[in-house]
Amino acid sequence: MLILKKSDIASSEITPKETYMNRRAFMTGAAAAGMAAMAGERAMRLAEPGGVEAAETLATVKSPLSTPGLTLTPLEDITHYNNFYEFGVNKGDPAEHAGTLRTRPWTIQVEGLVKQPKTFDIDALLKLRPMEERVYRFRCVEAWSMVIPWAGYSLSEFISACDPLPSAKFVQFDSLADRKQELLPWSAGISWPYQEGLRMDEAMHPLTLLTFGLYGEVLPNQDGAPVRVVVPWKYGFKSAKSIVKVKFVKSQPSTTWNDMAPQEYGFYSNVNPNVDHPRWSQKRERVIGAPIWKQLQPTLMFNGYEDQVASLYAGMDLKKNY
Ligand SMILES: Nc1nc2c(c(=O)[nH]1)N[C@H]1C(S)=C(S)[C@@H](COP(=O)(O)O)O[C@H]1N2
Ligand SMILES: [Mo]
């Protein structure tokens, strides 16, 4: 997150549309040709070092909360241009190293201000609500962006199943912290476990997605398998990966980047082109995987979700609460 190198810029030979059409055809079982194409592609992906492992189809329904009219980022870029410091600090590291992450058995432990502490098994969570496909813009604080077809359901559905008490005002997420599966935290320079948090109304907003997959398959390890959060109007670091604990609390919880450099990474971290990062501008973003002449785009207020979420911050000074 702190460094951005030229060599990190990924390129792709697969167009997202071709890939996606093949996947769709496979899912509906409509086209044998599509199926063969996809099987071939899968084999290639498994064969390459750091390739996506154990891809498993997720049946989804299209969501009305999808952002229309966007060009999807190629799968290759989504899976090879990552931030997941537990697997290294360079953009290609998670694809190379996250193969050691074991996603079964997996549980999310729920604690804090709830009627009763609970543990949810990942396979039960996968079935808790119908899986939706949501295409969202995704904007990293480092001034690059992607468009990703996520699969999941609103985090609010999960939160309801947690039975939080009215005294719960914030929710905190812990990522897995296991030195047998991940690099040691000091090698990435972050605290351990990776923690993030949201105010309760942000967590309950229908756009906030509990995410299990992308491009119609379960999440690749490097993208936060088996379950992560996606908050499309906030900088990407608010979206904790590989979550093992959810805690409901009374006051603003500590979060990894805010703890490390509070003057650079605010708790709210809403995408805002009018508030520069102390070391770079947030006015524009580089669209990963786009043709070179379309790569530099203006950044949108709340990452384009202003109409849906601005009311959450009515009366707040967005320059102070960056
Ligand atoms: N556990 C954990 N979650 C994390 C991170 C991380 O390093 N560890 N990086 C964050 C950042 S900075 C971004 S931009 C997104 C990247 O998600 P992606 O690699 O799937 O695009 O994950 C976020 N969630
Ligand atoms: Mo990020």
Ligand that lies nearest to the alpha carbon of residue 80, given by its number in the listed order: 1
264: left (phi over 0), alpha (psi -120 to 50) or beta: alpha
Please provide the CATH number assigned to the domain covering 11-134+150-252. 3.90.420.10
pLDDT digits (tens, 9 = 90+) for 247-293: 999 999 999 999 999 999 999 999 999 999 999 999 999 999 999 99
pLDDT of residue 189: 80
Ligand 2 centroid from CA 69, angstroms = 24
pLDDT of residue 1: 55
Residue 31 pLDDT level (bands cut at 50, 70, 90):
very low
Nearest CA to ligand 1 atom 7: 84
- Percentage of the residues of the chain whose pLDDT score is greater than 90: 79
Give Cα 134 to chain centroid, integer Å.
12
Mean pLDDT within 12-34: 41
pLDDT of residue 191: 84
Ligand 2 centroid from CA 243, angstroms = 17
Nearest CA to ligand 1 atom 5: 84
Where exactly are the structural domains of the chain? Answer: 11-134+150-252
Q: Name the residue type at position 95.
A: A
CA of 193, closest atom in ligand 1: 1
Residues 260, 124: Cα–Cα separation, whole Å = 35
CA of 176, closest atom in ligand 1: 1
CA of 84, closest atom in ligand 1: 7
pLDDT digits (tens, 9 = 90+) for 201-246: 999 999 999 999 999 999 999 999 999 999 999 999 999 999 999 9
Look at 35-49, 123-137, 176-190, 265-279 and tell me which has the smallest mean pLDDT. Answer: 35-49
pLDDT of residue 211: 99
Residues 254, 36: Cα–Cα separation, whole Å = 48
211, two tokens: 């995410």
pLDDT surpasses 70 at 66: yes
Q: Which residue has the higher pLDDT, 11 or 312?
A: 312
Residue 7 pLDDT level (bands cut at 50, 70, 90):
very low
Q: How many CA atoms lie within 13 A of 66 on its CB side?
A: 20
pLDDT surpasses 60 at 28: no
Nearest CA to ligand 1 atom 2: 241
Residue of 2, 78, 84, 148 best suited for mutating to test ligand 1, as the one with most atoms within 8 Å of CB: 84
Sheet holding 243-249, edge to edge: 118-121, 107-112, 243-249, 170-175, 195-199
Ligand that lies nearest to the alpha carbon of residue 77, given by its number in the listed order: 1
Tell me the pLDDT of the chain averaged across its residues. Answer: 87
Q: Which residue has the higher pLDDT, 296 or 20?
A: 296
pLDDT of residue 185: 66
Residue 36 pLDDT level (bands cut at 50, 70, 90):
very low
Q: Which residues lie with the beta carbon below 6 Å from any ligand 1 atom?
A: 1, 82-86, 140, 175, 194, 223-224, 236-237, 239-242
